[in-house]
Structure 1
Amino acid sequence: MSWTLPPSPSLRCSAQPAMDAQVQELRLQLEKQCLLNKELENRNADLERHLQEKEKLLKKLQRQLDELDCQQERSNNDSEADVRKSRTAVIATEPIPEDVDITGTRVQKTVSESSLIIKAIQKNDFLSRLDDEQVAMMVDCLVEQELSQGNAIIMEGTEGNTMYIVAEGELLVTQAGRILRTLTSGDVFGELAILYNCKRTATVKAVTNVKLWCIERQTYRAIMTNKSKKKREQIMGFLKTARTLKELSDMQLSKIIDSMEEVKFQDNEVIVREGTEGNTFYIILKGEVQVTKKVNGQQKEIRKMGKGEHFGELALIREICRTATCTAVGPVTCFSIDKEVFEETIPFENLELHDDLNVFEDVMAPQNKSQSSSMQLKDFVPVLYQEGRYQGEPVTLGVGGFGRVELVMSVQQGKYYALKRVSKKHIVAKRQEEHVKFEKRILQEIQSDFIVRLHAGFKDIRYIYMIMEFCSGGELWTKLKEAGRFEESIAVFCAACVVEAFAYLHKRGILYRDLKPENLMLDRHGYIKLVDFGFAKELARGEKTYSFCGTPEYMAPEIIQNQGHDFASDFWSLGVLAFELLVGSPPFSSSEPQKIYAKILDGALKFPPYMGEAARSLISKLCRPRPGQRLGNTKHGIKDVRNHRWFGSINWQKLRVGQMEAPTLPLIRKGPCYINFDRHPYDWTQAEEDFSGWDEDF
């Protein structure tokens, strides 16, 4: 039997320090490991943050790369960048005098003089888009002017109304004293002045004795407008002789004219061939057409047709084979429409846009009217900047060519309003009296959630005042410049709000004519409202108006060409707006207005690689050169725009009643009531007094 003795106390005491040291060592190692783990976690967080920053940077660089690709593609070897970085200048309407005697201004010219003028027109960016008849009329109406060496033809900063073509001699072009170029025989200058009243951007002086051909704006516009009106009346008369179309109203025939294309054929060119399937209707505008039919294997002439006669009308209404061959005898110009376009244009039962718009009629309208009748100008006080460089000055929300918009508060209600103040003298100088009165009348009648409200109008000896609804979200233009370009969901929502505004206006016979981001405001819910009705016009269906007005980048081709325009021009501008919201600049842009107009008339849309197929489809259909073929202006009207797949995410019923959550809300900054607006110094100068009495009924 063996016994195990317990360790002696002295041994236990000697082992304790060793164990404590071991525990301490383990504790230190554990703390080190915890610190290491913490450090690793911090490093991981830093790496994650750096990774996110790099991803953001990569996205930003990719976007910039896409935009550079887009700009390079759109520039078409142009040396300038086409991105619109500044607000566009607007062009006010100018009355066309009824009494301009075009025949009295015609000047006989030699063959060599006419040839020089035609060559000058053909090499000019804008004028080269005129048709042969317009060029011929211009050649007839250019008058001769001779100037001695040293004389100034144009002075920088002055208003101009004449275009010049150099016949003989040499001229020098300078800007702010700097020499730009020399003009010699065949050069054109001052051409913008025949489109609208604009300030000259350079000085032109005669280096030698010079001979010029010149034409004034009123003469040019009268030529183009009268030519367009007469041509339209002429084609209307031709259409009324077509048996298939005789039951259609003038309004419907007008729509067909808007959809027709001008086509040219050379001598002996076959226009339609017997036995082939027909799908196009033709009206002969110029030249002669031979009609032949195969008889016993030989082509036999049936007849010859001339100006005003037509053929192929049955092809518009049913599948049919051509019963004869039509061949051009010499050069022939026709106006044509094919079956597919015709079916989009006729019938017109739905053109009146019965869209049940009463779902968003404002039930508060009677209350607004009674409220506005009790308002007085003295009831409003200016809101002052609370900080910044303009601290203590009245808040200016916007500055335009026709006045200023200031932020005011109602003393009685404590509500904010936008006060539009315009110099009466300036209105008279620019001949805008009727437009200002019309703007006030229209805005008082309009009750739409997508159009800014007018609450009251006042006047004194210097100004007219309009008390408008205050949209605290600011201008869409400012937001677009901050973002560069919008995400598609934002662009879709903004465009949808504009569609609803147009539906409301067009149903009431009001043409808007000045769509652009600068005229779109965000309310506090992020919804878009249309503002500034200075260029709006009442128009009956089937009628045309011939004013040259609007914003160059947004003008439809028919406005530039003085062909007469209607509601279709608003749909063109909607396509331009959608493009600018998605890209950051309009599809047709340049620092030189002549180039803008030339690009619009060329009509070549170039899309960036990042733009989706649906957006491309919508913009292409809205920006069709022929107004009668534009989406929104065909037989189903604005419903075709709403039903386009690009608007697939929009619940139109919810949008109308304000129940859709606006994707624009993150664009609106929080802070003082004026935080979403650019800041402007207050204008303390007083306008001149005006006692002309034009505003008696204002």
Structure 2
Amino acid sequence: MEKQLQDLRQQLEKQCLINQELQRQNKDLEHRLQEKEKLLQELQSQYHELEAPTLSANESEPAYRTSRAAVIASEPIPETVEITRSRVKKTASETSLIVKAIQKNDFLSRLDDEQTAMMVDLLVVSNLKVGDEVIQEGTEGDSMYIVADGVLVVTQAGRELRTLSSGDVFGELAILYNCKRTATVKATSAVRLWCMERHTYRTIITNKSKKKREQLMRFLKTAQTLKDLNDVQLSKIIDSMEEVKYQDKDVIVQEGTEGDTFYIILKGEVLVTKNVNGQQKQIRRMVEGEHFGEQALIREVLRTATCTADGPVTCFSIDKEVFEETIPIEHLELFDDSKVLQQSRAPVKASLSSTLTLEDMVPVFYQEGRYQGDPVTLGVGGFGRVELVTTLKQGKYYAMKRVSKKHIVSKRQEEHMLFEKKILKAIQCDFIVRLHAAFKDTRYIYMVMEFCSGGEIWTKLKEVGRFDEPIAVFCAACVVEAYSYLHKKNIMYRDLKPENLMMDVKGYIKLIDFGFAKELVRGEKTYSFVGTPEYIAPEIIKNQGHDFAVDFWSLGILIFEMLAGSPPFSSSEPQRIYAKILDGVLKYPPFMNEAAKSIISKLCRPRPGQRLGNTKNGIKDVRHHRWFSSMNWHKLRVGQINAPTVRLIRKGPCYINFDRFPADQNKADEEFSGWDRDF
């Protein structure tokens, strides 16, 4: 018996040694796998860099985005804007210098001839002495400058960066939106500058866009084929049309060829000729506002005449394939426009019936780490901070957004704040964070929101570098459902990015932060400059007026960033980001599959009317794209899918999935203007 026990003991000891050796080997294998995965990611990012467009010498971009994106809050602008400045006459040489400066500037070079001419007209002169500062680092700016004569020095934190001389442009970001200056510019000689304020620039661009849109609407209403379409449908056609230019004697349409394009003449004249006994006989001459080729939009036809440019001609055109995506041919009366207007103006029902009070809210404290004993902060942004709170009665967790009233007033965001509360009050959607209560005192506005314990998608993306495709598909599908809900209520979101996506305990994704959302009647446009630079659609940058299509653009950017680790258009300088967006060249990493490339390229089409989600079938086209082929949309809506994102959620204290932030030691000043009377 004793011998058997001894044998058993020896066998157990032997087995323990084997187990220990296996554990050691497993750890070793795990370590080697991690090293290989790290090396693979490095190689992929290096390969991606090789594939990417060449960067300028002073710019380097990480493989993955590592810092939070900045946001641009829209400034309230009047619906009708007028230019108050008088035009300043310039000599031929001055005009030439200004035009050359605009043409060589990465951003301003995108202005058309008419916009450039208006800028030249409205630039005003400013004279400086040696030592005068034009721009001071850290201050807010509202003007851009072109150097006419003299030399200036650019410094940052006291360090000299470069000099500026005749023909150089600086400060141009300030004509797009209110931003802090990143450097100081000082005159080192007598200097003469051409200057333009933001209000003047935006008025030039906005007025031209509005006039052009009104002009196109008038032209379209004269087309016999389109006479039964309402303004909403005509607006969609305008969004899908493209500007094309022809030189003298260019043939636009050839008699006898198959036609598939409709044209409106914006500028210039077009000769219409027909072949009679082998000779081209002129039938008529068409001028601005006239159109041709409309029959090609609805049936297979051969061109019955030849149309030739008589001098330079600019047309707006749409081809049959794009037209069919925009307007269902089989029944032109898609819906009654008055119904849309009634829906958009229907009163919003309040859903806040909470009995919570501000006094009920108790902060949750960090239990360990460097901030132990401090209140838990879930996030910090330009407009306040979000803190984790609980209630003694319920013991339930909430995320409480706290924003300085003085800050809201100084940034002229009162309307946005009131609208954010109004939207969240009315929303009942599983893919959008819930508002439980709202309060105010003399210093702050408080919004008590649903707590999503899984953390920000941004934090998770930063941790892993980039998402596996099933995770990206699931996250994007949740966003599609949130968009579907909002767009039916005529609400644009306008601030999609990983920072504004939260995970609940089940890993389902919810949209947060409605500070930039806006209600819009279908067929109308809004002209504010708003969003996050990397995610802004081209029509916002161009001040052409935008609508729900901007949300589909940002969905394409989000899918790209989730799969690649960084957005497709990025730079340390916002001007470079905008230039890249307007160039529209999407450079995909080698590991991205064809379905992903397809949905991104369709969502990020430059013309808003051609974007996936914004054509005649609406958001259905997004759901039916092959990249989402694995998604059961019904099961997603009823919460029956096991979210692949669950594996990103860490176990531990309720705040374990959030970045940590130090406590706020400063108290906001009191504010008594009364704008929040109805909050």
User: Normalising TM by the smaller chain, what interval?
Assistant: over 0.9
Which digits, 9 at most, give the CA deviation of each residue in 1:585-625, with x for residues without a partner? Answer: 00000000000000000000000000011000000000000
1:617 alignment partner in structure 2: 598
**What is the CA-CA distance between 1:102 and the residue it aligns to?**
2.1
Q: Note the C-alpha offset of 1:684.
A: 2.7
Verify: 1:249 aligned to 2:230, yes or no: yes
Question: Which of 419, 423, 426 is the aligned partner of 1:445?
Answer: 426
| Shift in CA distance, 412/103, structure 1 to aligned 2, threshold 3 Å | closer
Aligned equivalent of 2:89, options 93, 96, 108: 108
Moved more, 76-85 or 603-612: 76-85
Q: Which of 228, 237, 257 is 2:218 aligned to?
A: 237
Matches of 1:603 and 1:572, distance apart in 2? 12
Tell me, in whole angstroms, the C-alpha distance in 1 between the residues paired with 2:34 and 2:455.
27
Paired residue type of 1:67:
S
Unaligned runs of 5+ in 1: 1-31, 353-364
1:186 and 2:167 are equivalent in the alignment? yes
Query: d(CA) in 1 for partners of 2:630 and 2:158?
Result: 56
Question: Are the aligned partners of 1:272 and 1:326 in contact in 2 as well (CA < 8 Å)?
Answer: yes
**In 1: Cα distance, 2:80 partner to 2:274 partner:** 50
Q: 1:351 to 1:189 in 2, by over 3 A?
A: farther
Cα gap change, 1:35/1:559 in structure 2, threshold over 3 Å: closer, same or farther? same
Is the 1:497–1:527 Cα contact (8 Å) retained in structure 2?
yes
Indicate the residue corresponding to 2:438 in structure 1. Answer: 457
Query: CA separation in 2, counterparts of 1:464 and 1:294?
Result: 74
State which of 241, 252, 256 in structure 2 corresponds to 1:271: 252
| Aligned mates of 2:179, 2:22 — CA distance in 1 | 62
Retained in 2: the 8 A contact 1:154–1:202?
yes
Give the CA deviation at 1:56: 4.5
Residue 412 of structure 2 corresponds to: 431
Decide whether the 8 Å contact of 1:262 with 1:336 is kept in 2.
Answer: yes
Q: Give the conservation status (yes or no) of the 8 Å contact 2:81–2:207.
A: no
Q: 1:207 to 1:546 in 2, by over 3 A?
A: same
Aligned positions of 1:522-601 closer than 5 A: 522-601=503-582
Q: Which residue of 1 aligns with 2:125?
A: 144
Alignment-mate amino acid for residue 81 of structure 1: S
Q: CA deviation at 1:130?
A: 1.5
Partner of 2:450: 469
The aligned amino acid for 2:51 is E
Distance 1:55 1:392 in 2: 38
Decide whether aligned partners of structure 1 residues 382 and 286 sit closer, same or farther in structure 2, where only a CA change above 3 A counts: same
2:60 counterpart (81, 85, 89): 81
What is the alpha-carbon distance in structure 2 between the residues aligned to residue 176 and residue 103 of structure 1?
A: 36
Q: Residue 103 and residue 573 in structure 1: after superposition, are their counterparts in 2 closer, same or farther (change >3 A)? A: same
State the identity %: 73
Query: 2: CA distance between counterparts of 1:210 and 1:147?
Result: 5
Mapped partners of 1:465, 1:59: distance in 2? 44
Q: Distance in 2 between matches of 1:391 and 1:40?
A: 42
CA distance in 1, matches of 2:55, 2:533: 22
1:418 match: 399
Provide the C-alpha distance between the structure 2 equivalents of 1:165 and 1:272, rounded to a whole number of angstroms.
Answer: 43
The answer as to 2:304 corresponding to 1:323 is: yes
Partner of 1:62: 40
Residue 148 of structure 1 deviates from its aligned partner by 1.5
Unaligned runs of 5+ in 2: 1-9, 337-348
- Normalization by structure 1: what TM-score? 0.90
Q: Are the aligned partners of 1:349 and 1:635 in contact in 2 as well (CA < 8 Å)? A: no
1:647 maps to 2:628:
yes
Is residue 487 from structure 1 mapped to residue 468 from structure 2 by the alignment? Answer: yes
Give the direction of change, closer, same or farther, for the CA distance of 1:446–1:349 in structure 2 (3 Å limit): farther
Rounded Cα–Cα distance in structure 2 between residues aligned with 1:665 and 1:48: 25
By how many angstroms is 1:147 displaced? 1.1
Structure 1's 98 and 504: CA in aligned 2 closer, same or farther, altered over 3 A?
closer
Q: Is the 8 A contact 1:105 1:143 kept in 2?
A: no
Q: Report the TM-score when normalising by structure 2.
A: 0.93
Q: Which residue of 2 aligns with 1:174?
A: 155
Structure 1 residues 297, 107: CA separation in 2 closer, same or farther (over 3 Å shift)? same
d(CA) in 2 for partners of 1:37 and 1:101?
87
Asked whether the equivalents of residues 97 and 222 of structure 1 are also in contact (C-alpha less than 8 Å), the reply is: no
- Partners of 2:48 and 2:172 in 1: how far apart? 30
Instruction: Choose which of 298, 319, 324 in structure 2 pairs with 1:343.
Output: 324
Of 103, 114, 127, 2:108 maps to 127
> Compared with structure 1, are the counterparts of its residues 412 and 93 closer, same or farther at alpha carbon in structure 2 (3 Å cutoff)?
same
- Correspondent of 2:50 among 66, 72, 78: 72
- 1:649-688 deviations in whole A, cap 9, x for unaligned? 1110010011100000011111111111111111132111
1:664 aligned counterpart, secondary structure: helix
SS in 2 for 1:302: strand
- Give me the CA root mean square deviation: 2.2
Tell me if structure 1 keeps the 8 A contact 2:228–2:333. no
Mapped contact 1:102–1:141 kept (Cα < 8 A): no
User: 2:312 is aligned with what amino acid?
Assistant: P
Alpha-carbon distance change, 631 to 389 in structure 1, aligned in 2, over 3 angstroms:
same
CA distance in 1, matches of 2:515, 2:229: 35
SS at match of 2:321: helix
SS state of the match for residue 644, structure 2? coil
Q: Secondary structure at the match of 1:426?
A: helix
Partner of 1:629: 610
In structure 2, the residue corresponding to 1:333 is in which secondary structure? Answer: strand
Q: 1:59: how far off?
A: 3.6
What does the per-residue CA deviation read over 1:311-333, in whole Å, with 9 as the maximum and x for residues that have no partner? 11111001111111111112111
Query: In 1, distance between residues paired with 2:155 and 2:83?
Result: 33
**Alpha-carbon spacing, 1:504–1:483, altered in 2? closer, same or farther (3 Å):** same
CA drift at 1:48: 7.1
Match of 1:658 in 2: 639
Larger CA deviation: 109-118 vs 42-51? 42-51
**Partners of 1:497 and 1:390 in 2: how far apart?**
34
Alpha carbons 1:485, 1:582 under 8 Å: kept: yes
- What whole-Å deviation, never above 9, does each CA across 1:268-287 have from its counterpart, x for those lacking one? 11111111111111111111
Distance 1:380 1:294 in 2: 83
Moved more, 304-313 or 91-100: 91-100
Q: Secondary structure at the match of 1:576?
A: helix
Q: Is the CA contact 1:159–1:197 (under 8 Å) kept in the aligned structure 2?
A: yes
1:395 aligned partner, one-letter code: V
Q: Rg larger in 1 or in 2?
A: 1
**Number of equivalenced pairs:** 653
